[in-house]
Amino acid sequence: MARSVNVDVKYLTRVEGHGNIVVNVKDGIVEECRLDIVEAPRFFEAMLRGRSIFEAQHITSRICGICACGHTISSIAAAEDAIGFTPSEQTTKLRKILLYQEMLDSHILHIYLLVAPDLLGVPSFVPLIDTHGNVVKRALRMKKACNDVCAVLAGRHIHPISSIVGGFTKIPGEKELDAMLDILYDMRPDMDSTVELIKTLAPAIPVFERETEYVALVTDDDEYPTLEGDLGSSDGLRLDKSEYLKITNEFVMPHSSAKHAKASRKSYMTGALARFNINSEKLNPKAKAVADALGMKPPIINPYMNTAAQLVECMHYMEESIAILEDLKANGTDQSEAITVGLNERNDIKVNKGLGVGAVEVPRGLLFHSYEVDETGKIENANCIIPTSQNVNNIEHDMSKLIHEILDKPDEEITLMFEMLVRAYDPCISCSAHFLDVEFINR
């Protein structure tokens, strides 16, 4: 029997930022499947023009509180690429810790506070305070631990202070390394309990499959790539990061309402599941064990499993942070690398004219920053493409397929399935940048 469904979820809760889901089925025919973004535009790229490249990190970190370290690192990578600066090995290690801690922090928030309530059938984590007090406490404790590591390393997690173009303005000494290690050693039992919890909840993860292209950083070495690498895909694409617009191509043509091809297909997915599908053999052994325990083998084409991939990554990022810190502790940190930069008043950092790209894996997927600077370091052009704007297209394609599979379900169930799908992608709609995937319909 042909059926009509009209789902209109306004102000999707428990995703960062504001999204509306619109699904319109008339007599069994899908007329519309849309994820609307109703976030107020913030115009970061426009505001950067004319400013010093040494301010780019400070400003773009404020695109998103959750991904502050990710924006920081991607912005710095783009800026250093543009002015022709190569960071030291120690700097790269410290940046990885920041990035890993943010991934961990964000994934924990997503798994516990945003997804677990769905799997337990409650509206939010608040009722869980009474029914699952220890679980909520553990989540908050783990989140705080990640924050505390970032605070020791960079002053704070939300808008880190000491991580700037050129390196770090303060280098952790032995005391700080120990403090960070202690926090992370203490986190280990909580991580094990988290894995146990998700194992018991995993059967509640919806089963829905759709083949798509997965995009993530790829490298030839054996480290799970996050900070450096080429752009790769499950369809065999491999491009230098400077060619990022070939993957996200439709975003450079905001005035064109025509749909442009993305990567190799209509849409692609970026994020934890994409990274898992492409790079799982490079995961830390303990993370591999988590994947095995959950029966996960790539390729996994169920987008709801993004949450499970995040859990696998949690173990990876915690263990890899510990490994870097132990290495720094064993070899000692070089305090003389601490930099004093400000607006580069002292010209300590040599600036060349150029165009640079930062392509960095952040919790929700690939994040691109790109700057063009003149010979004084003045920003002439800026661009930023966040993971969610790459994923929206893929979410809509998922929705279009999913609706046919659940048409016979009651409206509330359909609505919940859609909400859960969007939440699985962990969209960060509060991020300023472009949302041009959303067609410019009359709003």
Q: Which residues, numbered 23-82, are part of the site for ligand SF4 (CB under 6 A)?
A: 62, 65
Which residues, in sequence order, are CB contacts of 358 under 8 Å at separation 6+?
Answer: 73, 74, 75, 76, 77, 78, 79, 81, 241, 367, 368, 369, 370
CB atoms within 10 A of CB 58: 16
Q: Which is nearer to ligand SF4, 360 or 431 (CB)?
A: 431
The DSSP secondary structure of 322-370, one letter per residue, reads: HHHHHHHHHH---GGG----TTTTT--S----EEEEEEEEETTEEEEEE
Q: Binding string to ligand SF4 for residues 143 to 162, with x set by CB under 6 A, is what?
A: ---------------x----
Which of 26, 249, 338, 411 touches another protein (CB under 8 A)?
338
Q: Which residues of 363-372 are buried (b: 16+ CB within 10 A; e: fewer)?
A: bbbbbbbbbb
Comparison of 147 and 242: residue with beta carbon closer to another protein: 147
Q: How many residues bind ligand SF4 (CB under 6 A)?
A: 3
Among 29, 255, 330, 412, binds another protein (CB under 8 A): 255
Q: How far is the CB of 431 from ligand SF4 (least distance, A)?
A: 12
d(CA 260, CA 253): 9
* Residue number, 62 or 286, with CB nearest to ligand SF4: 62
Element (H, E) at 100: helix 89-108
Closest approach, Cβ 381 to another protein, in A, equals: 9
- Of the pair 62, 353, the CB lying nearest ligand SF4 is at 62
Task: Please tell me whether residue 170 binds ligand SF4 under the rule CB under 6 A.
Answer: no
Dihedral (Cα; 410, 412, 415, 417), 10-degree rounding: -70
CB nearer to another protein: give 42 or 282: 42
- Segment 73 to 102, residues that bind another protein, using CB under 8 A: none
Contact 400, 421 (CB under 8 A): no
Q: Judged by CB under 6 A, does residue 266 bind ligand SF4?
A: no
Question: Whats the size of the chain, residue-wise?
Answer: 443
**What does 295 bind: another protein, ligand SF4, none (CB cut-off 5 to 8 Å by kind)?**
none
Closest CB to another protein among 193 and 219?
193
